[in-house]
């Protein structure tokens, strides 16, 4: 006899079970906890096997360098954004601690 249960049932979570990694980021893709994003140096150091009638190695190197430079710029911008986020959160906490207690009185 064939089992006709709902094949998607296994994807349902119990309401008390923890959410999977990335589930707290609506609109973003799910990422495994083991996922490690590429670093610019990994792209720069990547080597490919040479094959007959393959791609032009110079073009591949130039493209990989461009991708690595773009990735490095993105990482730098992300770092600056995180620092600004910390600064804004601190300023908000300071403002709340000064003015919020007086608003309740």
**pLDDT (tens digit, 9 = 90+) per residue, 77-95?**
999 999 999 999 999 999 9
**Distances in whole angstroms, Cα of residue 26 to Cα of each of 19, 31, 104:** 12, 12, 34
What average pLDDT does this structure show over 47-62?
83
Confidence at residue 92, expressed as pLDDT on a 0 to 100 scale: 94
**Distances in whole angstroms, Cα of residue 20 to Cα of each of 9, 25, 74, 83:** 16, 10, 26, 27
- 34/25: higher pLDDT: 34
Rounded CA-CA distance 95/105 in Å is 16
Q: How confident is the model at residue 15 (pLDDT cuts 50, 70, 90)?
A: low
- Tell me the whole-structure pTM to 2 decimals: 0.52
Confidence at residue 76, expressed as pLDDT on a 0 to 100 scale: 92
């Amino acid at each position: 006899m064939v089992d006709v249960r709902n094949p998607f049932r296994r994807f349902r979570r119990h309401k008390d079970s923890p959410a999977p990694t990335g589930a707290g980021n609506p609109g973003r893709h799910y990422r495994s906890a083991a996922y490690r994003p590429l670093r610019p140096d990994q792209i720069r150091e990547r080597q490919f096997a040479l094959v007959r009638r393959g791609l032009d190695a110079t073009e591949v190197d130039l493209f990989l360098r461009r991708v690595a430079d773009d990735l490095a710029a993105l990482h730098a911008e992300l770092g600056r954004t995180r620092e600004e986020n910390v600064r804004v959160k601190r300023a908000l906490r300071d403002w709340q601690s000064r003015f919020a207690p007086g608003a309740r009185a």
